[in-house]
Structure 1
Amino acid sequence: MAFSALLDRMLGRSPDGPGEDRLTLPPPPTAQDVYAALDATEALLTSAALPSVVVARGNRIIGTVRDTVPRLEKVSGSDLGYTVVATATDYLPEAVGSYQRLPRRYADTRPVDGAKTSLMVLVDQLDLLGLTMDRVFDAVYRQDAQELVAQGRFIAEKFGSAGAGGSLRLSEEDHAPVPEAEPESGVAPLAPPQGGNG
């Protein structure tokens, strides 16, 4: 008995049926989906009368996510990739949207978490999201930076050290001969002409 048939039997599904009751998962978000979510959140930040501390932090997070999305395929399926997608499609818009749904007077003056107002809670959330996205951005691009450093070391080792001005280690016979200058009328080839304007 195949595993899927056993699973169907355990869940009370008919293995011979058309399979319409099977669970189908939506495809994972693409880079275009992430960009669309960022655009929607950006519109939310500009359309609502939000405090500047919220708008600045939200835009910073959006900028970091936008800079990370081109490398999304490289980290797809990892915790880093999930964090980028979830921040753009869920964490950031939900945090800002929850705050926006509250009346300003209540959100900015009434303590809701100890002595913190809703605005203070949101600012803390945005700071944490911003810090997390900075770390994700660094982790995603660190490998590329390390490859650049390794390539630089290879080039320095292959063609000379950086301290020697990148010498190509050519031997004397590899140098092209320099033609000897023949002075014309006693004037050196690169000397300025002696004028009689005195």
Structure 2
Amino acid sequence: MGFWDWLTGRAATPQPAPVPDVDPAPTQADITASLAGVDQLIGSGTLPSVVRSRAARVTALVRKTLPRLESLGLGSYDAYSVVATATDYLPEAIGAYLRLPRDWADSRPVENGKTPLLLLIDQLDLLGATMEKIYDAANATDAAALITHGRFLQERFGHPAAPVEMTLPPPTDQHPKPLDLERP
């Protein structure tokens, strides 16, 4: 409100509320680039094999889940967790470990008697288990749709799936005659 507005009793024009700076959501290219960066770390030979295998499991699960994010609901917590694992959680866990000197990270207990290496392994196991559950949830939607469709077809056409029965002749006491292979 200016001085003239104050004197004349006019209210100042309302100012729009400032819009906070919000980082845009990661794009498919961002996610792919982040996973490629983790793949480079895995292949660099700087990580112990136990870490490489666990990190590779997490990246594989994220890659399998990404095309199915819509079935989770794009704004859902699970979809967010997949993207955050690819772009933040996994790279940060590995990066924090790699910033430490190897001999120190692999031998010095830092929390509850665990070394940074063991802490990283625990984190990767947790990420892997979580991504496995989310991947299952993403697939469960289509599996449920398949079950529902099967029930519809069953009701519609009413042909129960019956096992195929074979009818064999009754057993006899006679043995079959051997083939005479010597006759022309």
Q: TM-score normalised to the size of structure 2?
A: 0.75
Matched length: 151
Deviation at 1:73, TM superposition (A): 3.2
Structure 1 residue 101 and structure 2 residue 94: aligned?
A: no
Greater RCO (Cα-Cα under 8 Å, separation 6 or more): 2
Any idea what the Cα deviations from partners look like across 1:55-74, whole Å, max 9, x if unmatched? 00000000000001002234
- Distance between the aligned counterparts of 2:70 and 2:140, measured in 1? 15
Unmatched tracts of structure 1, length 5 or more:
1-13, 166-196
- Distance between the aligned counterparts of 2:36 and 2:101, measured in 1? 24
- Distance between the aligned counterparts of 1:103 and 1:122, measured in 2? 14
SS state at 2:110 partner: strand
1:44 aligned partner: 41
Unmatched tracts of structure 2, length 5 or more:
1-13, 165-182
Deviation at 1:48, TM superposition (A): 4.2
Deviation at 1:154, TM superposition (A): 2.3
Q: Conserved in 2, the CA contact under 8 Å of 1:48 and 1:100?
A: no
- Distance between the aligned counterparts of 1:61 and 1:133, measured in 2? 7
2:66 aligned partner: 69
Higher deviation after alignment, 150-159 or 90-99: 150-159
- Distance between the aligned counterparts of 2:99 and 2:45, measured in 1? 10
Any idea what the Cα deviations from partners look like across 1:85-139, whole Å, max 9, x if unmatched? 1100000000001101111100111111121111000000000010111111111
Q: Conserved in 1, the CA contact under 8 Å of 2:65 and 2:82?
A: yes
Give the letter aligned to residue 86 of structure 1: A
- Distance between the aligned counterparts of 2:66 and 2:29, measured in 1? 9
2:139 aligned partner: 141
1:163 aligned partner: 162
1:86 aligned partner: 84
